[in-house]
Amino acid sequence: MRTTQRLIILTGFLFMGITASAQDPNFYIFLCLGQSNMEGNARFESQDTTVDSRFQVLEAVDCPNLSRSAGKWYPTIPPLCRCRTGLTPADYFGRTMVANLPEKIKVGVINVSVAGCKIELFDKDNFLSYISTAPSWMINIVKEYDGNPYMRLVEMAKLAQKVGVIKGILLHQGESNTNDSTWPKKVNVVYTNILKDLNLDPKSVPLLAGEVVNADQGGVCASMNTIIATLPKTIPNSYVISSSGCTDAKDNLHFNAEGYRKLGRRYADRMLAILGYKLKEPE
Q: Catalogue the active-site residues.
A: 36, 251, 254
- Helix axes 149-161 and 183-197, enclosed angle (nearest 10): 40
Q: Do 176 and 187 contact (CB within 8 A), yes or no?
A: no
- Nearest to 35, CA basis, from 96, 89, 94, 95: 89
Residue 41: φ, ψ to 5°: -100, -20
Q: How far apart are the first and last CA of the chain?
A: 65
The two beta strands, 106-113 and 165-172, are unpaired
Cα-to-chain-centroid distance, residue 67: 22
Q: Do 139 and 195 contact (CB within 8 A), yes or no?
A: no
* Amino acid letter, residue 176: S
DSSP 8-state class, residue 242: P
DSSP 8-state class, residue 28: E
Distance, in Å, from the CA atom of 163 to the CA atom of 25, rounded to the nearest integer, reads 8
What is the chain's length? 283
Q: Within 13 Å, how many C-alpha atoms sit on residue 164's CB side?
A: 26
Burial of 283 (C-beta count, 10 Å sphere; 0-12/13-18/19+): exposed
Q: Do 108 and 29 contact (CB within 8 A), yes or no?
A: yes
